[in-house]
Amino acid sequence: MGDRKKSVTKTIGILTSGGDCPGLNAAIRGVCRAAYDRYNMSIIGIANGYRGLIDGDARLLKPEDFSGILTRGGTILGTSREKPFKSRNGEYDADVGKDKVEIIKENYKKLNLDCLVVLGGNGTNTTGYLLSQEGLNVIGLPKTIDNDIVGTDMTFGFHSAVSIATEAIDRLHSTAHSHNRVMVIELMGHKAGWLALYAGVAGGGDIILIPEIPYDIDAIGRHLLKRARDGKSFSIVVVAEGAQSVEEAKMDKKERKKYREKTAKPSIGYRVAREIEAETGMETRVTVLGYLQRGGIPSAWDRVLATTFGTAAAELLARGDYGKMVSLKGNEVGSVDLSEPAGRVKTVPSDHYMLDTARSVGTCLGDE
């Protein structure tokens, strides 16, 4: 084990919140192994995200708890989508009739925590920031398959999801070719199109539709018909779940929601398929990859990134450098203030090199 180093932080709580993704257990292991082996910290595992902190569902983790979990999918701690600050709008915990944030603050003290380590996406780190404003010490780790967290170039979970989605696209190529069809594959990405863009390029998608670039069905139709004239008997269309038409982009949020409820049933992939058939007369089929994108073992890259983020978090803990989120900038692992990702979404910028890469190989992005 080696000589243990001094640490400002003695006891930490750790939780995972929001949607699960590959790499969570690798990150938990990275935090816990470094915190325990190097700095002799006590580690309290909190079950089911912020819900567990409200319920007081927590226990002392032993080394065997975070051993052998590097390659496991999911999270050993469980997760939930609990958003405690909604209680500030009058939503109280039904069991105790208290403000959820106040309950969290009380349980933080009862557990004698010096810092709370939160592993999650935008909502999780936003809640972490708000808790830090309430006086709690918090450190965040960025996880999401969407790669849409401001302050870091890459989140763990993204690489694994791209690999899963790319494999699905690869498999659709053979059936699309055999049946001379247009195959639409819908991927996750409600507000940001990173996953659809990267998987679409990796899988050789002929059309990629992302939320950042409103699509014109006329442009899509022209592209597909040209492919047919050029002797290409099939096409692959990769659609992010948040993709929107040029008409939708002009609507306000309320109008757009109503429009989607009326037209995008059961989901956006099916609407795009119907539009393609109406525009071109081509036989079209839909695959919605859904939760398969979040399941399974993490890729080698995500194991490395999650482990590195975990050990970097332990370093922050040892120094008492709270109120930060671990981040990757270029090839450097560092940290940013939790205020940076709070309440924000990292979307694909219009000048991102991957957009130019896609266009350079003849991929249509729905706008031309």
- The enclosing H or E element of 312 equals helix 300-319
Cα 318 to Cα 235: distance, rounded to the nearest angstrom:
53
Q: Quick check: 152 and 325 in contact, CB under 8 A?
A: yes
Nearest to 61 by CA among 75, 39, 46: 46
Count CB neighbours of 277 within 10 A.
13
Q: Which of 114, 146, 148, 206 is catalytic?
A: 146
- Amino acid 156 reads F
Closest listed residue to residue 206, CA positions, set 186, 188, 190, 184 = 184
Strands (E), the chain: 11-16, 42-46, 58-60, 115-120, 138-142, 182-187, 207-209, 235-240, 284-288, 324-329, 332-337
Rounded CA separation 246/224 (Å): 18
Q: Which of 252, 300, 243, 308 is nearest to 273 (CA)?
A: 243
Rounded CA separation 53/37 (Å):
25
Instruction: State the residue for tokens 């004239």.
Output: 229
Q: Which residues contact 246 (CB under 8 A, 6 or more apart)?
A: 214, 215, 216
Identify whether the C-beta of residue 194 lies closer than 8 Å to the C-beta of residue 148. yes
Q: Report CA-CA distances (Å) from 143 to 24, 59, 175, 327.
A: 7, 23, 33, 10
146 is annotated as an active-site residue: yes
DSSP letter assigned to residue 349: P
CA distance readout (Å), 187 to 138, 164, 318: 32, 10, 39
Q: Which sequence positions are flagged as catalytic?
A: 146
